[in-house]
């Protein structure tokens, strides 16, 4: 996880460098890239915080969609 965070953190710098090389504004490119990284970070934090609840909800949905039958009652 830490290497991934370090790579994502450097993306705004790389975007600014590329934009300046292409003759565009580096600050606007860095701001756009930083906003994308921030949104991704918030989504990952939300997933980590809520993953147990999401897992329980998903399991309930799957049990409702595909109810299991007790074989001993039907084979009997």
What gap in Å lies between CA 36 and CA 29, rounded to an integer?
A: 11
What mean pLDDT is reported for the chain?
87
Q: How does residue 71 score in pLDDT terms, banded at 50, 70 and 90? A: low
For residue 75, pLDDT over 70 is answered with no
Q: What is the mean pLDDT of residues 50-59?
A: 92
pTM: 0.63
Amino acid 73: pLDDT: 53
Give residues with Cβ within 8 angstroms of 39, minimum separation 6: none
């Amino acid at each position: 996880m830490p290497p991934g965070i370090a790579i994502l953190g450097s993306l705004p710098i790389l975007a600014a460098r590329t934009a300046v090389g292409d003759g565009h504004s580096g600050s606007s490119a860095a701001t756009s890239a930083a906003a994308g990284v921030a949104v991704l970070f918030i989504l990952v934090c939300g997933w980590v915080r809520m993953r147990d609840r999401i897992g329980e909800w998903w399991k309930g949905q799957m049990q409702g969609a595909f109810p299991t039958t007790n074989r001993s009652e039907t084979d009997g």
